Amino acid sequence: MSSPTRREHLARAFERVKTEPGLARNSIVVVALIAIAAVVGGIVLANQRFVAPWDNRQVFYANFAATPGISPGNGQEVRIAGVNVGDIVGADVDENGHARVEMSIERGHHLYENAHLVLRPKSPLNEMYVTIDPGKPPAKEIRDGYTYPEANTVRPVQVDEVLDHLDDNAQRALTSLLAESDVALTNAKTDLPGGLDATRTVSNDLRPVSEQLALRKEKIRTLITALGQISQAVGGDDKRLATLAGGLQTTLHSFGTHEPQFDQTLAELPGLVHNLRRSTDAVQDLSDQLDPTLRHLDDASEAFPDALSHLRKTSDKLDDVVDAAKPFLDALRPVVRDLRPFVNELSDTLPDLRVAVDRLDPMTNALLPYLSDLGAFTIQTRSIVSLEDANGGILRGIAPVTAQTLPPVLGANNGLRPLPPPPGLDEGTTALQKLVPVGPGGQPSVPQDGSEPETRPAQTPGGNDSGEPGLLHAPSTAGSSSGGLLPLPGKKN
C-alpha cells in the first residue's frame, strides 16, 4: 500500500480544521499574528537601516589612532558630502595595535587611495559617524577589502583629553566655573551677550600677550637646554675651559692696548655702512635691469635650438653650393687674371669716356624727333625688299620700268614727252625743311635751289638764343602742349 501524498496531507488537515470546533478560529488568529509580526519587524528593521545579507555593497576598512564611541551595527552613518551612503558595520584592532573600522557603502560611489576619512561626533553623547572625502585621480580607485592607513584618517578629540592639558589650578577653576554656572546664567538672556562681547574684546587684547608668553616660554626652554649642554661640556673638559679663559683675557688685553685704533675704526664704520648701502642699492638696480634681460634671454634660448637647426640646414646647402661653384671659380680664375690689365687700362679711360658721354646728351635730344620717321622708313623699306609676306616666303624683286629704261623702239623716250621740272624745287626749302628749319650745328637747312643759306653763330645742339641749353626745337603736332619744345634729360623746363 502506497503512502499518502503531500496534497492528501493538506486536504486532511484542511478537513480537520473545518470539522473540529474552534480550530479554524485559532488558526486564523495565529496567521494574523504572524503577519502582524512580519510587518512590524520589517518597519523596525527599515528604521534601524538594516542591511540585508544579499545586498550588493562595497566593504572597506580604515585604521584610526582611536575610535571612541564606535558601536557597530547600531546605525552609525558613513557620509560623503553630508549624504548618508552607508554604515559602520564592524570595529577591531589590527596586528599593529591600531583601531580598524569596517564600513559598508552603496555601490556606485568611487573612492580613491588618496581619500580622507574623519571620525566625528554627531552629538555631545559621542554618537559617531564617518565623513569621507573620496579623493580623485591620478590616485587609483580602491577595491573591496581595501584598508586606508592611519595617515588618511583623523580621530576625534575628546573633552577629557583637553582637560588633561590643564594643571591642577586650572582644573579646579574650571570645576568651580561649571558648578557656579547655573547661578551665573540665571540672567543670561540679558547679561550674557554683553559679557561675551567684553570677553571677546579682552581675549583679543590679551592675544599678543599670550603669544609673547608662549614665545618667552619657548626661548626659556631653549636657553635652559643650551645652558645644560654648556655646563655639561664645561664640566667634562676643564683644560679647554682654562684655555678659553686665557684666550678671552688675551683678547681683552689687546682691545685695551689698541683702543685708539678701535675708536677710529668705529668712527669710520658709519661711512662704510653708507657706502655699503649705496652699493646694495646699485646692485638692486642692476638686478632690476638684469631681470628683463634674463627673461628675454630665456625666451630666446627656447627658440635658439630651432634657429641652430635651420642654420645647420642652411650651412649644409651652402656647402653644396660652394662645392658646385668650385669648378666655375677654377675656370674663372684665369679669365680674371687676363682681364686685370684690361681693367687697369679701362680705369684710365673712364675720365675721357665720361666727357664723351656728357656730350652725347644734346645729340640724343636732336635725334629723338626723327626716330618715328626713321622707324616707319625702315619698316616700309624692309617690306619692299623682303622675300616674305604674311603668307610666307615668296620670290620677290624690284624691276623699275620707265620710258627711259625701255629700248628706244619708238624713238627717243619711246615717243613720250619729258616732264617739266616740278615747281617748288627752286623756291627755297621743301615741306620737311620747313618743319625742321634747323640743321646740324644749329645752322639753317641748305636750300635746294643752290642759294647760300643764312648763317648764324654756331650753337650747341639743344641750345637756344639765350645760351641756356636744355631745349631743342621739334616739329609741333596736333594736340601738343609743349609748343614744339622737347625737354632734355636731367634738365628742368
Q: Per-residue pLDDT averaged across 175-179, rounded?
A: 78
Q: Is the pLDDT of residue 22 over 50?
A: yes
pLDDT for the residue 470: 41
Q: Is the pLDDT of residue 380 over 70?
A: no
C-alpha span between 161 and 157 (Å, rounded) = 7
pLDDT for the residue 465: 46
Let me know the angle formed at the C-alpha of 309 by 308 and 315, rounded to the nearest 5 degrees: 85
**Pairing relation of β-strands 116-121 and 99-106?**
unpaired
Beta-sheet strand order (sheet of 99-106): 147-148, 57-64, 99-106, 83-93, 77-80, 128-133, 116-121, 153-154
Q: How confident is the model at residue 490 (pLDDT cuts 50, 70, 90)?
A: very low
147, with CB counted inside 10 A (0-12, 13-18, 19+), is: middle
Neighbours of 153 (CB within 10 A): 21
DSSP letters, 124-149, are TT--EEEEEE---TTSPBP-TT-EE-
Q: Is the pLDDT of residue 473 over 50?
A: no
Q: Pick the residue with more confidence: 3 or 371?
A: 371
CB 60 within 8 A of CB 152: no
% of the chain at pLDDT higher than 90 = 5
Q: What is the dihedral of CA 468, 469, 473, 476, to 10 degrees?
A: -90
- What cell numbers appear for 60 in the block? 572597506
Indicate the pTM of the whole model. 0.32
- What cell numbers appear for 161 in the block? 583629553
pLDDT for the residue 399: 62
pLDDT for the residue 61: 92
C-alpha span between 194 and 180 (Å, rounded) = 19
CB 75 within 8 A of CB 104: no
> Residues 104, 109, 112, 114: is their CA dihedral positive or negative?
negative
List the single range of 136-140, 148-152, 482-486 with lowest mean pLDDT.
482-486
C-alpha span between 109 and 89 (Å, rounded) = 18
In DSSP terms, which residues pair with 100 in a beta bridge? Answer: 63, 92
- What cell numbers appear for 153 in the block? 584618517
C-alpha span between 473 and 197 (Å, rounded) = 115
What value does the mean pLDDT of the chain take? Answer: 75
Which helix (DSSP H) or strand (DSSP E) does residue 443 occupy? none
Neighbours of 131 (CB within 10 A): 16
- pLDDT, tens only, 200-223: 888 888 889 889 999 998 999 899
Q: Is the pLDDT of residue 477 over 50?
A: no
Q: Pick the residue with more confidence: 108 or 415?
A: 108
- pLDDT, tens only, 245-283: 888 888 877 877 877 777 777 777 777 777 888 888 888
pLDDT for the residue 333: 85
Q: How confident is the model at residue 398 (pLDDT cuts 50, 70, 90)?
A: low
DSSP SS3 for 441: helix
List the single range of 168-177, 181-190, 209-218 with lowest mean pLDDT.
181-190
Q: Per-residue pLDDT averaged across 87-95, rounded?
A: 87
C-alpha span between 443 and 451 (Å, rounded) = 15
Let me know the angle formed at the C-alpha of 303 by 298 and 308, rounded to the nearest 5 degrees: 120
Q: Per-residue pLDDT averaged across 96-120, rounded?
A: 88
Exposure on the CB side of residue 447, measured as CA atoms within 13 A: 12
**Backbone Cα Rg of the chain:** 64
Query: Nearest to residue 384, comparing CAs of 397, 402, 400?
Result: 397
- What cell numbers appear for 43 in the block? 518597519
Q: Is the pLDDT of residue 474 over 50?
A: no
pLDDT for the residue 62: 92
Helical segments of 23-180, H only? 23-47, 159-164, 168-179
Q: Pick the residue with more confidence: 213 or 157?
A: 213
| 25-29, 180-184, 359-363, 436-440: which is most confident | 25-29
| Amino acid in the structure at residue 82 | G
Q: Pick the residue with more confidence: 162 or 278?
A: 278
